[in-house]
Amino acid sequence: MVYNIPEKEKKGVKRIMARFEEISALLQKGKAKDLAALVSEELAAGTRPKDILTEGLIHGMSIVGEKFKNNEIFVPEVLIAARAMNAALAVLKPALADAGVEPVGTAVICTVKGDLHDIGKNLVKMMIEGTGINVIDLGVDCSAEKVVAAVQEHNASLVCLSALLTTTMFYQKEIIDALKAAGLRDKVKVMVGGAPVTQTFADEIGADAYTPDAASAAEKARSFFD
Ligand code: B1M
């Protein structure tokens, strides 16, 4: 792995790598307070915010995602890690903005109209954010009009739709139709998911992607921006 570290920092490469590992480990353990403190300390020490993000936080989150995908850890651990990620991002965000590190793009996410389940959607959101994508969260019970308006307002290029009920999954198609009607379908990719959703269903309704869990959703989302 090659780290892009300024000349004056070169002496400290070993120390910095150990710190990145520490940041990654704290994130995986969900130690929000300690993680935020360490990130703050590293910023004060002059470590580049982008390196803290990619080599520490995103590295840790991708391990969490892998473990979750392989059933080595479960929802509570992912939520705890995601909360730690958010605490660290809160510390890092101003520094990232100062350093001019822009998100790779914007996605809109929601649970569709008639559906109030948001645990899975929140996990997907957090994991996608962890890949460096700006995510606009429209919450639950979300109408097609709201999605269309958000895509236009935020110039989003990815729409993520979650549905947990066999009765609400069909609303994902209504949103795709509304995007078409608004002339936005060619400008956005649509990813669908949620327990009753399948690849076959996604193909039937004309979605660009179906993913079964938060880790693969994040991976797929990022692939649309690479
Ligand atoms: Co409801 N509920 N619920 N519920 N609920 C289910 C979904 C149900 C399967 C339970 C059951 O009967 N066994 C059933 C649906 C049956 C069906 O349609 N086939 C059901 C029902 C019937 C209902 C009500 C109708 C009950 C009633 O009132 N009679 C009602 C509906 C309310 C409404 O939405 N309008 C209702 C209400 C609720 C609560 C409010 C009590 C609560 C939700 C709390 C909340 O979300 N804030 C609730 C809960 C907790 C569940 C269960 C128990 C758990 C759901 C959950 O959070 N799972 C659920 C049974 C179950 O799933 N075992 C059930 C954990 C979460 C991490 O997984 O959301 O699947 P999940 O997300 C995963 C993947 O699906 C995927 O990634 C996530 C993480 O890996 N994923 C995506 C999700 N979205 C994605 C989007 C993507 C990609 C992947 O790309 C965009």
Q: What is the DSSP string of 65-117?
A: HHHHHTTSS-HHHHHHHHHHHHHHHHHHHHHHHHTT---S-EEEEEEBTT---
Pick the residue whose CA is nearest to atom 61 on ligand 1. 195
CB 210 within 8 A of CB 197: yes
The residue contributing the CA closest to ligand 1 atom 13 is: 165
Q: What is the average pLDDT value for the chain, to the nearest integer?
A: 92
pLDDT for 117-134, tens place per residue? 998 898 899 889 888 899
Q: Does 130 contact ligand 1 (Cβ within 6 A)? A: no
Tell me, what DSSP letter sits at residue 142?
B
pLDDT(1) > 60: no
Residue with CA nearest ligand 1 atom 12: 165
Model pTM greater than 0.85? no
Over residues 42-69, mean pLDDT: 90
Å from CA of 191 to ligand 1 middle: 18
177 CB less than 6 Å from ligand 1?
no
Query: Is the minimum distance from the CB of 118 to ligand 1 under 6 angstroms?
Result: yes
**Ligand 1 atom closest to the CA of 118, numbered from 1:** 46
Cα of 171 vs centre of ligand 1, distance in Å, is: 15
Beta-ladder partners of 189: 158
Candidates 77, 115, 126, 164: which one to mutate for ligand 1, based on the most atoms within 8 Å of Cβ?
A: 164
The strand pairing partners of 47, in sequence order, are: none
Each residue's pLDDT tens digit, 152-168: 999 999 999 999 999 99
